[in-house]
Amino acid sequence: MSGHDHDHGEDGLSRRKVLECMTWAGTGVLWTITGGVPRSLGIIDSAQAATAPGMTFLQISDSHVGFDKPANPNALGTLEEAVNKINAMPEKPSFMIHTGDITHLSKAAEFDNAERIISQTKLDVHYVPGEHDFIDEDVKLYRERYGRGTKGHGWYSFDAGGVHFVGLVNVVDLKGGGLGNLGAEQLAWLEDDLRGKSKSTPVVLFAHIPLWTVYPQWGWGTEDGARALEFVKGFGSVTVLNGHIHQVMQKVEGNVTFHTARSTAFPQPAPGSAPSPGPMKVEDTRLRAMLGVASINFKQGDQRLAIIDTPLQG
């Protein structure tokens, strides 16, 4: 079990505080973080205007193409709305990451539909799989489409704008009673991948299931996530981007900023606030305020990456 407790007792950030942050993020606040203390700069429009140029990339997550249940009968439609929002951005981002659950049931048509919509951004997209992308019978459709040039079940790294990005897979070989899993092979690869990198290189780790323990009762964490975090301990700036829990959550622990993105398909309840982590049915008018995309800005010399969560509406 990871040593990062979800109530953040160690760094003095109470659970209530985190929930406050979540509420703020829900209204579209730009986060800037200096010296480990998150600070909001204002609501999204003024914040965007205040953002100095640097490298900006986007995160989308959990598009669940194929999902058609009451929580959102048209998950492909809301993905398209997210893509339209991306296309309307005044500054074109450098690229995009997708933190998994592209599809709901790993059907070929779902992958095709997702690709058809996401490609309209005309951005390079770096994917990692969610557990919903590996449930076709032969477990081959995700890797056929997105696995080229990756290792193992689909992990890889790349450099962009002076930042080292590592895409990790923590949805394979899950053990009964356990959480997400990276596995020994991937951890050995990660250690090797980071070896020799200058400690001043900002590092972004992204994976589907949170690498930190958000709420183990619902499986929201990664069994050996703490091992991965040990490898980035010496680095001055580390950002961990995840999906899976369909809501914005952020915490800062030392040099590491943890952040989860909204889904583009349906919201899930706050930890422990419902009988299960299943799709949360909200009033139709509220749905789009609970879906969205994240924009991440990196400026040379800044210790932290600034993350803006933008709902589809509201």
Partner 1 sequence: MTKINRRDFGLVVAAAMLLPVTTSRADNDTEVHIDNFVFAPAELKVKVGTTVTWTNRDDIPHTIVSAGKFRSKTLDTDDKFSFTFTTAGDYKYFCSLHPHMTGMIKVE
CB-nearer residue toward partner 1: 221 or 311: 221
Contact segment (CB under 8 A) with partner 1 among 88-96, 119-127, 176-184, 197-205 equals 176-184
Q: Which of helix, strand or coil describes residue 164?
A: strand
Q: How far apart are CA 126 and CA 249, in angstroms?
A: 22
Contact segment (CB under 8 A) with partner 1 among 130-138, 187-195, 287-295, 305-313 equals 130-138
Q: How far apart are CA 188 and CA 41, in angstroms?
A: 39
CB-nearer residue toward partner 1: 157 or 247: 247
CB atoms within 10 A of CB 22: 16
178 binds partner 1 (CB under 8 A): yes
137 binds partner 1 (CB under 8 A): yes
CB-nearer residue toward partner 1: 71 or 256: 71
Query: What is the number of H-type helices and E-type strands within the chain?
Result: 8, 13
DSSP assignment of 13-74 equals --HHHHHHHHHHHHT-EEEEEETTEEEEEEEHHHHHHHPPPSEEEEEE----BT--STT-S-
276 binds partner 1 (CB under 8 A): yes
Q: How far apart are CA 252 and CA 222, in angstroms?
A: 17
Q: How far apart are CA 259 and CA 210, in angstroms?
A: 8
Q: How far apart are CA 17 and CA 165, in angstroms?
A: 29
**Which position among 174, 187, 226, 270 is part of the footprint of partner 1 (CB under 8 A)?**
174
Report in angstroms how near the CB of residue 286 gets to partner 1 at its nearest: 18
CB-nearer residue toward partner 1: 50 or 109: 109
177 binds partner 1 (CB under 8 A): yes
Q: How far apart are the first and last CA of the chain?
A: 37
Number of residues that bind partner 1 (CB under 8 A): 25
Report in angstroms how near the CB of residue 266 gets to partner 1 at its nearest: 9
Binding pattern for the stretch 60-89 against partner 1, x by CB under 8 A and - elsewhere: ---------xxx------------------
Q: How far apart are CA 29 and CA 308, in angstroms?
A: 6
Report in angstroms how near the CB of residue 247 gets to partner 1 at its nearest: 16
**Which position among 217, 273, 300, 303 is part of the footprint of partner 1 (CB under 8 A)?**
217
Q: Which residues bind partner 1 (CB under 8 A)?
A: 69-71, 104-106, 131-132, 135, 137, 174-179, 216-219, 275-279
